[in-house]
Chain A
Amino acid sequence: MDELIEYAPDLLAGFAENLKLSAVCGVLSLIFGTILVGIRVSPTPVLRAAGTAYVNIARNTPLTLVLAFSSLGLSDQIGLIFSDEPSTNGFWLVVLGLTAYTSTFVCESLRSGINTVPFGQAEAARAIGLTFLQSLSLIILPQAFRAVIAPLGNVMIAMIKNTTVAIAAGYLADVAFVMKDTFDTTGVSIPIFLGIVVAFMVVVLPIGFLTGWLAKRLAVAR
Chain B
Amino acid sequence: MPFTCITLTTMTENGDATPLVSLVGVNKHFGALHVLKNIDLTVDRGEVLVVIGPSGGGKSTLCRTINRLETIDEGQIIFDGTPLPEEGRALARLRSEVGMVFQSFNLFAHKTILGNVTLGPMKVRKKARKEASTRAMELLDRVGIANQADKYPAQLSGGQQQRVAIARALAMDPKLILFDEPTSALDPEMVQEVLDVMIGLARDGMTMVVVTHEMGFARRAANRVVFMADGQIIEQNTPDEFFTNARTDRARDFLSKILTH
Contacts from A to B (Cβ < 8 Å): 118, 120-121, 123-131, 134, 138-139, 142-143, 146, 220-222
Judged by a CB distance under 8 angstroms, whether B140 is at the interface is no
CB distance from A81 to the nearest CB of B (A): 41
Q: Specify which chain B residues have a CB less than 8 angstroms from the CB of A221 in the assembled complex.
A: 109, 152, 154-155
Asked if B228 is an interface residue, CB under 8 A from chain A, the answer is no
Beyond A125-B108, A126-B69, A130-B120, 16 additional pairs, beta carbon < 8 A = A120-B102, A120-B104, A123-B69, A124-B100, A124-B106, A126-B95, A127-B102, A128-B119, A128-B124, A128-B168, A129-B97, A134-B123, A138-B123, A139-B110, A143-B109, A221-B154
B102→A123 contact, CB < 8 A = yes
Chain B residues within CB distance 8 Å of chain A: 67, 69, 88-89, 92-100, 102, 104-110, 119-120, 123-124, 152, 154-155, 165, 168-169, 172
- Which residues of chain A come closer than 8 Å to B168, judged between CB atoms? 128
Taking the closest CB of chain A, its distance from the CB of B162, in whole angstroms, is 12
Judge whether A128 and B120 touch: CB under 8 Å: yes
Q: Quick check: A120 and B154 within 8 Å, CB to CB?
A: no
What's the nearest-Cβ distance from chain B to residue A207, in Å? Answer: 23
Cβ contacts under 8 Å, B165 to chain A = 124
Q: Is the CB of B110 within 8 A of A127?
A: no
- Taking CB atoms, residues of chain B closer than 8 Å to A127 are 67, 69, 95, 98-100, 102
> What's the Cα separation between A220 and B115 when bound, in Å?
15
Closest Cβ of chain A: how far from B157's Cβ, in Å? 14
For B120, the chain A residues whose CB sits under 8 A away are 128-130
State whether B69 touches A129 (Cβ < 8 A): no
Q: Are B107 and A142 in contact (CB under 8 A)?
A: no
CB-defined contacts of B99 to chain A, threshold 8 Å:
127-128
**In the complex, residue of chain A having the shortest beta-carbon distance to the beta carbon of B98:** A127
A130 neighbours in B (Cβ, 8 Å):
92, 120, 123-124
